[in-house]
Structure formats: structure tokens, C-alpha cells
Structure 1
């Protein structure tokens, strides 16, 4: 089976250093395996999106030498696929409507497999997946063996929001299967989401890819750069400085003689071993 990896940014801002690290890491893993590297824009949360950011990200990547092997998939075009997956879960009685507020849950998890609040005909519900007491195990390609009790860690989690938008967990697993992704290479902040996605794959009869979670670039306060005021956009008109910093962050060879992104990437690929990537997140000003 041909290796297929992907980079799947959310259009909430311009390409910043943390996203560049994830893009470079996923691209190198795909090329190292002799496979394909795909792009997906996760534009399923309009209130959080910044106008023009999807176009900005997609325009910036080629300047860093990162070209996809297939047309970009936009999640905003995939509503029928998410509807079908939702109806499949509904037919199997795996989901339930929920009108519970944060106060109803007292800030905790939803663990009952049914809504605790009375139905409210004048208000749309969220829909939650019923989560049993199950341990989900998987081996992360960089972080090693993982174990999570899904019920105590996530509870009955939302897969369709009150506004009608599908949650990241559902859209992600549907599209990873649709694009034939064989390994998901992404940031460490999504490691905790992986058991939920594996469980959803099982519920929907979808294949489970391999997973590899890269370290995060953090600001001086230890926050992920995407949530930090230090997450300044990288400059696609002068790509080499940011690309070299991304390589240094991932402990990749420097190639001091390289003057173009393509040369820097080719040099790194010739010395690349995913097992030698750093495990821990580091503080680094953008």
C-alpha cells in the first residue's frame, strides 16, 4: 500500500513557525517512505476562521519547497460525507442528542450515554457519541506506546455541535479515510485526540492509520505558538531563515551551503530518520 501522509492546517491565521514545523515533518516522513504528501484545509469552523488565511497558507507552502501530490481537499466541501457518517452512527444508536450546558456537567465529563437535561424543542441539541468503558491502545511512531481509557479521559464527546457544525474528530477520521492516509504526522497537542479518532474509526468501519506526533514549538511562557502572541507569520518571500530554524528544531542537518529550500529539503531527506526526531516540545520564540 502506497504511503500517504498529509498536512491539514486550520485557516485561523497565516502560516506560522509551529505550523511550518508540522508541514516539514509530515513532508519528510512521506518522502522518506517514498510516498505521497497531501494537503487538506480544515475549514469546518467558520466562526474561528480568518478570511484569506487558507489562500495565504496554500500560497506560502510552495515557497518553502513543500508541494502537494494531489489537489487540496477543503473540508467545507465535504458536508455530505460527514452527514453520511453521522447517519451511520445514528442508525447504530451510537449517538444521542444533548441539551446539557456546562453548568449541567459541573465542568466535568458527560458519562451517562444519555442527556441529563430535559429536551428543549425550541433549541437545537448537540450530538454526542456514546463512549463505553474501553481502553484504547496504539503505538505512536515517535512517542511510543499509548494507553487511554476513553470513558474517563473523554466521556461522551460531541461530534456535531449545536450550531450544526461537525466536530474536528468526526471530520478528521472521515477525511483521513477518504484520502487514503496511511500515517498521520502532526503536533503533540493532538496526541490526546487520537484515541477518540481510533474509536470513531472502529465505529464507522474505517481503517486506522499509523500515528506520529511531533514536538511542539512553544513560546517563552510554554504556550503552543498557534495560541501565542509570538506566533508571527513566517515570511514566504524569504523562506530560508524560517526553514533553517524548523530544521534546527527537528534536529535535522543544517546543509550550510544550501541556498534554496529545495536544496535544504533534499539534504535533510538524505539524512532523515523519523526515529531520531526529538520527542519533547521546546520553547522557541517565533
Structure 2
């Protein structure tokens, strides 16, 4: 799995197509989407276009998508949902299939269905997203296959200081979503100071820090110039001292977490629906 990829959260199908094609054209080899984002069709179109423009084959890139909360359940339900996702993406398989959120009533059963799909060869790896330690421990006890990754919010002010070591101790890779803290980390005084010191953008400083922390990172941008810039983190290194300085920014503040969702907490602000976008599968 490439350790730097493009994500397409809150991106419509047209923009997802253009962003994904631009990313592949400019050297990205990992693309991350989800049923909940409502843009798998656009992402698939972007993959096809990008591969053609770059002269690459399907096996040259790594594609991740996620099992939607409202489609969790037994094998038949999960398999049907997954086949729809493959159709929307225009792919024969995905490299990584994640459970998007641990819906309490179904996450064990849903993961068993994902294990079966893995054994059928339709998925090359399976994992989870947004699993705290309690739910991860329950999943590990009940499952056959250790999740390849746990995709979590991870950025300078939220470094998952409890979840990261727990996952690492069980050979679960941490993947960062919102690696720039929703943009908030870009204006941090220390990040700005280091950007001047290394003559880099604030985003490049953060992404390089995550690279040196051995965190797989999914970064979103819809502008080709920024997509390119975000990938240019391999011709410099942060000193150990500066890495430690950024480590000290951790406040354990999550922008979004499990209890915000209505299907877990009736008072939550987020419902069990396609995230902000029309359902393109109707």
C-alpha cells in the first residue's frame, strides 16, 4: 500500500473525476473513496482517465473504498452492496475495503462478511476506519483476519496517542484522514515557522512529519497545483528535534467522532445517509 494517497471526501462526481485523474497523472498511486461520499462513479471515471493519461494498468494503483454504514449486516447484504460499489467504480476488485464506522449492532457480523469476500478474492485486503480501542479489541477477538489498517483522524493536534500504540501493538497500520486538521493546522505558528525554515509549504511540513511518523496518509485537494505540491515531500527531511516539536502540538482534539452519529447517539448531528451528496445509484 502506498503511504501517500489522494482522498475525495466531500467532492462531487465531476470534481472527483478530475482530481483523481490529476493525481494519477502526477504520480499518486493510491486513491481513497467511500460509498458514503456519493462519488464512487466519479472516482472510477477518474481512475480510468488517469490510467489512460499516465499509460498505466489497473494493477499499478491501489484503490480503497468503504462499506457504508446503512449497508452493514449479513453476508448477502454486504456482498450486494460491495458488488454495487465495484460497478460504480468500474473495477473488478479493490485493493482495500474498509468498514467505514463501527455500527455497534452490526460491526462484527459485517466484518465476517468482509472476511468472506476477501477469501473469495474480490478484495485484496480488509480493514476498518474510526475504531476506538474498545471496539477494536472486540473485533480482534471475534475475527479471523487482523484488519490491515485503521483509518483515523490524525494530524498535529490529534495524534491518537491512545489508539496509535494499541493498533501498532496488534500489527494494525494507522492511516490518517484529515491529515492537515481540516486546514486548521496549516496556520499553527510552529508549522508556519518550520515552513519558513525549510522553505516549504505548511502542508508539506505536516505531510512530511506524518511520513516520518510512519503514518499512511490520505490527503484531499481538488486543485492540480496543490495535488502536485502535496506529493513533493521526498526531497527533504525534518530534523528529529523538529519532529518532536510537532509531536508536542497534540491536544487529543478530534473534529469528528463516533458519538456524533445519530445511528449511535440520538442527539448526534450526523445521520445515516449518503454524506452531503445525492445518491447517484438511484
Q: TM-score, normalised by structure 1?
A: 0.31
Larger RCO (CA within 8 A; separation ≥ 6): 1
Looking at CA atoms only, which structure, 1 or 2, has the larger radius of gyration? 1
